[in-house]
Amino acid sequence: MLTAVAKIVFGAALLMPCATMFTESPAGCRRLSHEVMGAGGLSVLFLVGAVGIFPGVLAALSIDPQTLAAVRIIAFQAGCS
């Protein structure tokens, strides 16, 4: 249960920069994301954050938490590399 909550919090932490960048500069968001984060940028970070939150909620509901933990680990490694 505690790992599920931790992964939800980590996924939300990955979504925060996306929301901040988008609200501060909607027009320059694409340019800014390429300069700061590389080619995938904001969309990859948003996707990885969502992939962290959704299985975290399912794991907190005790729906196959071990498999969902593996999914989150693979997604976080892919998004953070």
C-alpha dist (Å) from residue 33 to 21, 59, 65, 75, 80: 8, 31, 33, 20, 15
Amino acid of residue 45: L
pTM of the model: 0.65
Residue 4 pLDDT grade (very low, low, confident, very high; cuts 50, 70, 90): confident
pLDDT digit string (tens) for 55-77?
A: 888 888 888 888 888 887 887 77
pLDDT digit string (tens) for 5-43?
A: 888 888 888 788 777 766 666 555 555 555 555 555 667
Other residues' Cβ atoms within 10 Å of the Cβ of residue 13 = 11
> Does pLDDT of 80 surpass 80?
no
50-59 average pLDDT score: 83
d(CA 12, CA 18): 10
Query: Could you identify the residue written with the tokens 């976080």?
Result: 76
